[in-house]
Amino acid sequence: MSQETQAAMLHDCREAFADTLIALARDDERIVAVCNDSVGSSNLAKFKAEFPDRMINVGIAEQDLVGVAAGLANGGLIPFASAAAPFLTGRALEQIKADVAYSQARVVLCGQSPGLAYGELGPTHHSIEDLSWLRAVADLPVVVPADPLQTAQAVRWAAANPGPSYLRIPRFPVPDVTPPGALFQTGRALQLTGGNDVTVIATGTMVSRALQAAESLGQEGIQARVLNVAFVEPLDHDAVLTAAVQTRGIVTAEEATTTGGLGAAVATLTAQHQPTQLRILGVPRSFAPTGNTTFLLEYFGLTADHIAAAARHIMAHATR
Amino acid sequence: MMTADPQVARQFHDVRARLARLSPAEAAPALREMAQRVRHDDLHMIYRAGLGHLGGDFSVADILVTLYAGVLNVDPLHPLSAERDRLVLSKGHTAGALYATLARCGFFAHHELDTFAAPESALNGHPNRTKVPGVETNTGPLGHGFPVAVGIALSARLQAAPRRTFVVLGDGELQEGSNWEAAMTAAHYGLSALMAIVDRNRLQQGARTEDTKQLEPLAAKWTSFGWEVREVDGHDHAQLLSTFRQPGTTRPVCVIAHTVKGKGVSFMEDRVEWHHKVPSAEQVQIAVQELSA
């Protein structure tokens, strides 16, 4: 396959986010968008064109963005508060905690361009801490879709969910990984491949890489189970513990720091209930060097090759 | 979630209806009496709990009572009615004054005040909307209530709903930058149904506001941010009522209510230590006498 054909099969999930939001807004006038001067980067220009009054721009003011969204929810609307993930979650973390999660305000927090998506713009613009920060906040689902179809599902789920949620919308182009007809249920992981040798638990942009890893492992006779965990919170305990029982170990992969995200969640769960071999792939507790996203993912070992290597390592050290 | 005291709620309904027919000057004595009762209840809550923020509670009590009894379209029997006016207490540490006021209105049974800050009580040191009817958003960290109130006022405008939104801010709280983000947003959207009330008691936790981080010229700041500014005596119920009753026309309204921290008890008034000091049994006795005078 040519590079051009491959590129054409990769998608930026923001389009699915924006199109789904517009479709929902046509049917439900409670849906409004709130942004911090990020009409362009949140891909909300079409929304604004169709619903000019329902596009609230608070300017460059993330604390205000989240507080205003909580107020809109108090008034009976369903606000999608959208901003670049590092600023939404970092600058407004206390608003997310107090005004949204603790107050149980029906706000959908939409973190755009998360993880290492901003590449060369550097660590100020990377959002690798968001999963750790928001996992620490009670009563707030943390949702990371893996492709356009799942992004659309996540947006619909969030709009229908009676409480708050955080959606982490991938920007780094990804291939389709979600089978048509796949369900999207609160706190449920989606098993993408069967296999009882080893498990790869991945989220967001890492899911397609986990599938590539499973394919190459399969060629070596290693059957890998791939779980797509869109709900980092609440985590699918059954799926994780079953994998810990049925396979020889678990590799986790996420475009986020390993201090408190998906890998940490899986580790906490398995360590207490079903200890197993674990390899946690993500960004270590360090600020990234200069480089584009592709380079940085390679630099931090977030590729199909690295995932496969971690799985082989588990197989080599298996005691059962 | 606590539920209403139906009998008190119906009495409150009658009181509100009666006050609505009166001029501010005519309504003032009843408001003053209710505010003194709120101070009295609050004093006992804080003495019993061994913690609280009496100074700020007493500076804001007249504002809260005037709003609930004389201005807000709220019904304790239907605390989540979509049409209700909204009051956000951004200075959430003065929860004691809010709880005592809500109980006087019948949002929950008066005896619940006895549980203030006790283990498992709905009445936390800072208000929680999922447990206390009448609370609109969970406040406590400063600089949070104002943006939420702006969002509420925006929702009313989007829905073409007539409801009004009020937010009560501490003066020291205005040192938080998020308030000024909210002030800009409200002015930009011309939210004339929004009223921000500043409890200008001139003291913050450790010292005078002007010695900590200067707020003056405060009225000029609000004016320059695009707000209509009204200055009132924050303990004059007639002034408060007439000011609150009148919504803005084109711009959001800021009411700078000049108050005295610890108002109503001589040894607490304008004394910085009464920000969160707890009175002794003897001090409670003296305070009760002064509040009953």
Task: Reply yes or no on whether the pLDDT at B79 is more than 80.
Answer: yes
Q: How many domains does chain A have?
A: 2
Contact A75 B154 (CB under 8 A): yes
Of A24, A231, A17, the C-alpha closest to A111 is A17
| CATH number of domain containing B102 | 3.40.50.970
Which residues of chain B make contact with A58, given a CB cutoff of 8 A? Answer: 181, 185
Query: For residue A215, what pLDDT is reported?
Result: 98
Indicate whether A212 and A274 sit together in one domain.
Answer: yes
Rounded CA separation B255/A182 (Å): 55
Residue the block writes with tokens 């592709």:
A294
Would residue A178 count as lying in a domain? no
Query: For residue A3, what pLDDT is reported?
Result: 62
Indicate whether A15 and A164 sit together in one domain.
Answer: yes
- DSSP string computed for chain A: --HHHHHHT-B-THHHHHHHHHHHHHH-TTEEEEESS-TTTTT-HHHHHH-GGGEEE--S-HHHHHHHHHHHHHTT-EEEEEEEHHHHHHHTHHHIIIIIIITT---EEEEES-BTTTGGG-TTT-B-SHHHHHHTSTT--EE---SHHHHHHHHHHHHH-SS-EEEEE--S-B---SPTT----TT--EEEE--SSEEEEE-TTHHHHHHHHHHHHHHTT--EEEEE-SEEES--HHHHHHHHHHSSEEEEEEEEETTTSHHHHHHHHHHHHS--EEEEEEE-SS---S--HHHHHHHTT-SHHHHHHHHHHHHHT---
Which residues of chain A make contact with B144, given a CB cutoff of 8 A? Answer: 67, 94-95, 98-99
How distant is the Cα of A169 from the closest Cα of chain B, in angstroms?
24
| CATH number of domain containing A217 | 3.40.50.920
Mean pLDDT score of chain A, rounded to an integer?
96
Please, which pLDDT band fits residue A12 given cuts at 50, 70 and 90?
confident
Would residue A114 count as lying in a domain? yes
Question: Chain A contact for B84, CB < 8 A?
Answer: no
Indicate whether A136 and A246 sit together in one domain.
Answer: no
Contacts of A318 (CB under 8 A, 6+ apart): A248, A249, A277
Contact A64 B181 (CB under 8 A): yes
Would residue A303 count as lying in a domain? yes
Task: Reply yes or no on whether the pLDDT at B10 is more than 60.
Answer: yes
Range of the domain at A38: 9-169
Tens-place pLDDT, residues A62-98: 999 999 999 999 999 999 999 999 999 999 999 999 9
Would residue A121 count as lying in a domain? yes
Would residue A264 count as lying in a domain? yes
Where a domain ends, among A116, A135, A169? A169
Tens-place pLDDT, residues B111-138: 999 999 999 999 999 999 999 999 999 9
Task: Reply yes or no on whether the pLDDT at B7 is more than 60.
Answer: yes
Would residue A1 count as lying in a domain? no
Q: What average pLDDT score do residues A199-206 get?
A: 98
Contact B144 A98 (CB under 8 A): yes
| CATH number of domain containing A33 | 3.40.50.970
How distant is the Cα of B130 from the closest Cα of chain A, in angstroms?
7
Would residue B25 count as lying in a domain? yes
Indicate whether A165 and A21 sit together in one domain.
Answer: yes
Interface predicted TM-score (ipTM): 0.97
Interface residue of B80, B148, B179 to substitute, partner A, most A CBs within 10 Å: B148
Contact B151 A63 (CB under 8 A): no
Contact A63 B178 (CB under 8 A): yes
Q: What average pLDDT score do residues B202-207 get?
A: 96
Indicate whether A106 and A254 sit together in one domain.
Answer: no
How distant is the Cα of B75 from the closest Cα of chain A, in angstroms?
16
Rounded CA separation A220/A297 (Å): 25
Would residue A280 count as lying in a domain? yes
Indicate whether A79 and A209 sit together in one domain.
Answer: no
Query: For residue A2, what pLDDT is reported?
Result: 61
Would residue B212 count as lying in a domain? yes
Where a domain ends, among A169, A201, A232? A169
Task: Reply yes or no on whether the pLDDT at A4 is more than 70.
Answer: no
Indicate whether A159 and A125 sit together in one domain.
Answer: yes
Please, which pLDDT band fits residue A201 given cuts at 50, 70 and 90?
very high
Question: Chain B contact for A235, CB < 8 A?
Answer: no
Q: How many domains does chain B have?
A: 1
Indicate whether A80 and A154 sit together in one domain.
Answer: yes
Tens-place pLDDT, residues A262-273: 999 999 999 999
Which residues of chain B make contact with A31, given a CB cutoff of 8 A? Answer: none
Query: For residue B138, what pLDDT is reported?
Result: 98
Q: What average pLDDT score do residues A124-128 get?
A: 98
Contact A66 B128 (CB under 8 A): no
Residue A56: closest CA among chain B residues belongs to which residue? B154
Would residue B117 count as lying in a domain? yes
Rounded CA separation A252/A230 (Å): 13
Chain B stretch 95-124, residues whose beta carbon is closer than 8 A to a beta carbon of chain A: none
Residue in A71, A76, A105 closest to B82 by CB:
A76
How distant is the Cα of B89 from the closest Cα of chain A, in angstroms?
13
Indicate whether A275 and A161 sit together in one domain.
Answer: no
Would residue B1 count as lying in a domain? no
Range of the domain at B200: 6-292
Indicate whether A116 and A63 sit together in one domain.
Answer: yes
Task: Reply yes or no on whether the pLDDT at A8 is more than 70.
Answer: no
Question: Chain A contact for B265, CB < 8 A?
Answer: no
Indicate whether A164 and A17 sit together in one domain.
Answer: yes
Query: For residue A41, what pLDDT is reported?
Result: 80
Indicate whether A205 and A141 sit together in one domain.
Answer: no
Query: For residue A39, what pLDDT is reported?
Result: 83
Query: For residue A55, what pLDDT is reported?
Result: 97
Would residue B34 count as lying in a domain? yes
